[in-house]
Amino acid sequence: MNTWPVGMIGGAPGSFMGDVHRRALALTGRFSLVAGCLSRHAGTAQKAGQALGLDPARTYTDWTQMARVEAARPDGIALAIIVTPNDMHLPVAAAFLEAGIPVLCEKPLALTLDQARHFTERFITKGHDMVVAYTYSGYAMVREARRLVHDGTLGTIRNIQVEYLQDWLGDADSDGGWRLDPRTGGAGGCLGDIGTHAFHLAEFVSGLRCEVLSARVSRLVPRHAVPDDAQIQLRFSDNAVGSLWVSQVATGSGNALRLRLFGEKAGLEWNQEQPDTLIVSTADGRTTHIARGGSAVGTPSLLPRGHPEGYLEAFARLYADTAYLLDGHDAPLLPRLADGVRGQEFIEAALTSGTQYGAWVSVRA
């Protein structure tokens, strides 16, 4: 198998997402980090490159220069990984795509839906696409849940409940940095930061599209300039209904992402904090706990049953799929540019509904 050389933009050592991406890369054995523009500040970028053992000649202080130089090198990078603040996602991605270098980008895709749409029109027409890091679609048991729904284990889906709760912004003195600044993080706040994950998870597993929503969007900590909590009613295709609750001020919650689907035959539950298990329940009182790696599970695992797979392994599965894509194969479960645009459609619809006192708003397809 090929080992693909990659470069990273943003994500100097010590940044949460930069460190996560590098660990996930290492888990796959399919990538080698050889270049980077790890900070917009020249001194920090140079020190970060040195800390990661990068060649000084491939430690850049300007990402536009990095795109040009790497595209011209015979051993240039095969993938650009973008882990910058949200406002830089599209400008950086555009530079690398224009240079002919594939991109894997953190979410949300952009600051606004219009930005995302214009970007897509610009690059899709040229045959370019990119991977968007909706991490939770990489969990083995999330993919198994999708398979069970597709195979009809639950029957027709009637109700979809998803929530993503954190508490790290609940302290009145908490510092969310660029995420709480609408100029760098976007106007969506928690909707963009983690709500897009929950929304993507609901559609990814159910196979249904949310058509309209009604949102109550709040700033429960008054000093926050962007939403920190939202409760949203959802209506899906095929007459399914549901709700989504997202909060970064839910006291006592760590990374509490939970999905529940209820069909005519059975209900299903997956909890990110116990990610190796699916719970399937039926009306006759039977509850089945399905363990990752079991003989009846159709979705492959990275580790044997009993060896927990978590957040890093989910990221690694996205990277393994990306390597498969670079090898010239299809990777149908990998989140792509269209999924990034879909996240922006969700954010805009929720913000619009919130300003209209919960009016039902179309989630534009």
Amino acid 1: pLDDT: 79
Amino acid 225: pLDDT: 94
Residue 285 CB neighbour total at 10 angstroms? 6
Of 126, 24, 132, 135, the closest CA to residue 82 belongs to 132
| Residues 58-115 pLDDT 10s | 999 999 999 999 999 999 999 999 999 999 999 999 999 999 999 999 999 999 999 9
- The whole-chain average pLDDT of the chain stands at 95
Query: Can you name the residues that pair with 287 across neighbouring β-strands?
Result: 281
Q: Could you give the angle at which helices 16-28 and 311-326 cross, rounded to 10 degrees?
A: 60
Distances from the Cα of 247 to the Cα of 22, 102, 163, 198, 228, angstroms: 27, 33, 8, 11, 6
Of 268, 187, 267, the closest CA to residue 228 belongs to 187
| Residues 275-334 pLDDT 10s | 999 999 999 999 999 999 887 788 888 888 888 899 999 999 999 999 999 999 999 999
Residues of the chain with pLDDT > 70, as a percent, come to: 99
Is 175's pLDDT higher than 90?
no
Q: How confident is the model at residue 202 (pLDDT cuts 50, 70, 90)?
A: very high
Amino acid 294: pLDDT: 86
| Residues 130-172 pLDDT 10s | 999 999 999 999 999 999 999 999 999 999 999 999 999 998 7
Q: How confident is the model at residue 126 (pLDDT cuts 50, 70, 90)?
A: confident
- State how far the Cα of 112 lies from the Cα of 187, in Å rounded to an integer: 8
Distances from the Cα of 228 to the Cα of 71, 162, 218, 359, angstroms: 40, 17, 6, 20
Q: How confident is the model at residue 182 (pLDDT cuts 50, 70, 90)?
A: very high
- For each of the domains in the chain, give its residue range(s) and CATH number, in order of start: 4-106 (3.40.50.720), 140-300+337-362 (3.30.360.10)
Amino acid 297: pLDDT: 87
The residue ranking higher by pLDDT, 238 or 126, is 238
- State how far the Cα of 9 lies from the Cα of 179, in Å rounded to an integer: 18
Query: Can you name the residues that pair with 280 across neighbouring β-strands?
Result: 268, 288
Q: What is the mean pLDDT of residues 25-53?
A: 95
Q: What is the mean pLDDT of residues 123-131?
A: 87
Q: What is the mean pLDDT of residues 35-42?
A: 93
| Residues 265-274 pLDDT 10s | 999 999 999 9
Q: Which of 39-48, 147-156, 197-206 has the lowest mean pLDDT?
A: 39-48
Residue 21 CB neighbour total at 10 angstroms? 27
Amino acid 365: pLDDT: 60
